[in-house]
Amino acid sequence: MINLVKCSSKNAEAKFIGEREEELGKISASARRFFKGEYLQTAFVPEEDKILLLVGTGKKKRESVHLKELGAAAAKAFLDAGIYDFSLDVSGILKEYGLNALGHVTEGAVLGTYKQKQFKKAEDKEYHIEISGVSEKDYQEAEKILKDTLVVAEGIWFARDMVNLPGNRLRPSDFAEQILEFVKDTDIEAEVLDREKLKEKGFEALLGVGDSSEFPPCLTVLRYKGDPENEKITALVGKGVTCDTGGYCLKPADSMLGIKGDMAGGAAVAGAIYALAKNQVKVNAVAVIPMCENRISDGSLLPGDVIGSYSGKIIEIANTDAEGRLILADAVSYAVREEKAAEVLDIATLTGAVVNMFGFTVAGIVSDSDEMFKRFRQGYTCAGERYWRIPFYEEHEKMIESKIADVRNMSSGGCGTVTAGLFIREFAEKKPWIHLDIAGTAWVNEPIFAFQSAGATGAGVSSIYRFLCEK
C-alpha cells in the first residue's frame, strides 16, 4: 500500500541526495565519509529517532527512466533489509524536476517491489510506503498524480504476471478469463469470441495458426468509451500467442524457454486499457487480442501453404514461425471493420531482428503516421520507456509481395522488423497505424534497470496509456 502524507509517521525514511556539495552538506560529516551521492548508491544512516536511507542521485540531470530507478532503489534497499514500513521524502527531487517526478519515483518504487508468482510455498509480506515532501500548494495535484500512477502500475503488474505464467497455466482461454477477471470492476465492455464464432466470422489466419493446438484459439475484445461525445476510437491490438514452438519451422532448443512470453503484446494492451478505464481517461479505445498456441499437429500450417484471412486477402506462408503477424492481421482487420477504429496501434513480441538492432532496452517502431508517432513519442518519453522509429520505403513494401497470393508472411531478403510491420499494415485498411515490436524489451533474464526483476517487464503498458492521455 502506498499513500501520500503531509508528515511521515514512519521510523524509516529515504532521502535522495546528489553528489553536489550543497546536497551532501545536508547529511552528517560521518555519513559523508562513506556516502558520496553517486547515482543509485544506497546507505543506511542510523539516527536517534529513525533509520535514514540515503539514495544517491548523482551529478547530472536525470530523465524519467532514471527517476523510476531511484524510487526502485529506495524500495528495494528497505525490503532487502527486512523493513516493510517506510517513507520516501521526495522534496529534493520535486524541487529539481517538478511535480510530475512524483509519478516516476512512485512507479519505480512499486515496480521495484514486484516478485514473480511462486508455485511453491512462499510467504508474501505486505509493505506500506508513505510519500512525503510535497508542498501544501501542490498536495491536491500530487494526490491525482499518485492515484494515476498506482493504477498504471497495476496494469504493469498484471502484464508481468501474465507473461511470467508458465504456458501450461495460461492457455488461450485461460488468458481470456484472466483478463475478464482483471477488468470486471471497470467500465470496460468485454467480449470473447470462441473458436466457433471465429470460424463463423472468417478469422482464417487466426484459425490457421490456432488450430494447430488442442487448446482452441479465441479473440478477446475490450471496449472502453470514455468520451461518448467523440466518435474517434483507437484500436489497441496485442499479440496473444501463449505458446509459440514455431510450428513446423521449429524454434531451436535454446529458444524454447521463452515461448511462453509471446503474448506480452496482448498483456500490454489489457493493462493499458484497464488503466484508461480505471482512471476514467476521456478517450475511446478498443483492445483486440487474438489468442492461440502455435504448435505442430497434423493440421498445422506448412511453408508454402496459402490461406485466407478475415479481410479476404490471401496469404502465402513462407515461415510458420512468423505466426504473430498472421493473427494480428485478422485482429487489425476486425478492429477497423467491426469496431470502427479510426487509428490502429499494434504491439507484439514479433521479431528477433529488432533485438539484433536495439538489444534489450529499446523497442522498435514502424509507422505510416507522423502525427500518431508524435503523440506516441510524447507518451513513451513521459513513461520512461525507450523506442526508436525505423523508416521504410517502397522497396521494403515490395519485399512481402507474393507471386501466388496477395501478400507473403515473410520477406526473403532480410529487414525482418520492417517487413513484419508492413505485413500487418496491409490489413489496417489505410487507417493511421503504428507498430511496436517489443521482442527485446518484454523480458529480461537479469534486470537492466533497478525497477525491473528477472522475467517479464510489462513493456508497453505505460507508454500506450500515456499516448492516449495525450489526446
List, by residue number, the catalytic residues.
251, 325
Q: Which residues contact 84 (CB under 8 A, 6 or more apart)?
A: 78, 125, 126, 127, 128
Three-state DSSP class for 135?
A: coil
Q: What stretches of 278-401 adopt beta strand conformation (E)?
A: 284-294, 306-307, 315-316, 343-348, 363-367, 387-389
In this structure, the strands spanning 218-225 and 189-193 are antiparallel
Radius of gyration for the alpha carbons in the chain, expressed in angstroms and rounded: 23
Q: Are 57 and 93 spatial neighbours (Cβ–Cβ below 8 Å)? A: yes
Helices (H), 81-100: 91-97
Q: Residue 367 — φ and ψ, nearest 5°?
A: -150, 150
**Cα 265 off chain centre by:** 7
Q: Are 332 and 428 spatial neighbours (Cβ–Cβ below 8 Å)? A: yes
Q: Which residues contact 170 (CB under 8 A, 6 or more apart)?
A: 162, 178, 242, 260, 263
